[in-house]
Amino acid sequence: MVGYVYEVEGFTSTHEYNVEINAKTGKIIDHESDRLDHDDKKHAIKLTGIISRGKASKIANKKTHGKSSEWTLEYSKKYKTTIWDVKSGNKEVKIKATSGKILSVTND
C-alpha cells in the first residue's frame, strides 16, 4: 500500500502530462503523456493569488464538519475561474481559489 499519492496533471501547447508521486517518498509511481487534439482547449492556472490547499481544506471542513481527503486545483468552465475541488467527509466542496468563497457543496 502506497498511502497518499499526488496526482499531477499539466500541459504544454502540444501535450498533456500526468504523473503520480508517492507523497511520502517523492518517488514517481507512474507517468504518461498524450498529444493534444487540435480541438482541445486548456486553461492555464495562474498560481499567484490563490489560497493554499490547507486553507481550502479548513474552509471545506468547517462547512461540512468533515475531514478533507482529496484536493484538485482546476479551471472551471462553469464558474469561469480557478477553483479548489475538495472532498471533505462525504461532500464535495467547490471553492473559488482566489477568494475562498464556497461556490457549491454536493454529496459525493
Q: What is the pLDDT of residue 41?
A: 67
**Single pTM value for the model:** 0.76
Whether residue 93 contacts residue 104, with contact meaning beta carbons closer than 8 Å, is answered with: yes
Q: How many domains is the chain partitioned into structurally?
A: 2
Range of the domain at 15: 5-35
For residue 100, with 0-12 CB atoms within 10 Å meaning exposed, 13-18 middle and 19 or more buried, which class applies? middle
The reply to whether 40 falls in a domain is no
Same domain, 57 and 102: yes
The reply to whether 42 falls in a domain is no
Does residue 108 or residue 97 have the better pLDDT?
97
* pLDDT tens per residue, range 35-86: 887 776 667 787 889 999 999 999 999 999 999 999 999 989 899 999 999 9
